[in-house]
Structure 1
């Protein structure tokens, strides 16, 4: 299980640029709405999460020492757990999970963006 981060900690980290958010939703969902500055590593379907992470991580997360936060839709969504675990296996030591996901972020009235 990945260490967790709170919404407030995540918001502060995004505002100060001290962490990288990774949206683990399928690309179409990411393009529709994601946290400001988030990159995308699709973690669904689950059977393809490791391969997807292997392909995308070197491109979107070139700094293995970065503070990384993975998230998906909500607490029951497992995408972020699969992607986060694979990132750790690939040598990213600072990976946490925003368990409540983008649904919680939106419900709190925090901003999201769409892909251009």
Structure 2
């Protein structure tokens, strides 16, 4: 079980630049909307979450010592738990989960970004 981070804690960490945020939704969802500055490691389909994490993590999270927060759509979504657990296995020591996900972030009126498929994830 990953340690959790609240929306307010995450917003403060993003503002301070003290955390790397990872959106674990499939690429099309990430491109449509994600938290500011978030990087993408897809955690769906579930059976490919570890494979995607192994492939993407060295590129999108080159500093293993950086604090990382993973999130997906909402509380029932499993993507962030799967990707976060795999990051721990890969040697990332500081991984937390924003359990409520982007749905909670948007409902609170906080800013999001979008990107095109050609942008770096």
TM > 0.5 between the two? Answer: yes
- 1:40 matched residue in structure 2: 40
- 1:17 matched residue in structure 2: 17
- 2:92 matched residue in structure 1: 92
Q: Any unmatched runs of 5+ in structure 1?
A: none
Q: How many residues align?
A: 116
Residue correspondence of structure 1 range 75-86 to structure 2 within 5 A: 75-86=75-86
The Cα offsets for residues 60-85 of structure 1, whole Å up to 9 and x where unpaired, read as 00000000000000000000000000
Distance 2:34 2:15 in 1: 15
Distance 1:12 1:62 in 2: 23
Distance 1:24 1:52 in 2: 10
Distance 1:90 1:26 in 2: 21
Q: TM-score w.r.t. structure 1 length?
A: 0.99
CA RMSD in angstroms comes to 0.4
Q: Any unmatched runs of 5+ in structure 2?
A: 117-121
Distance 2:86 2:66 in 1: 15
Matched, 1:63 2:63: yes
- 2:54 matched residue in structure 1: 54
Runs of 4+ in 1 over 4 A off after TM superposition: none
Distance 2:97 2:64 in 1: 16
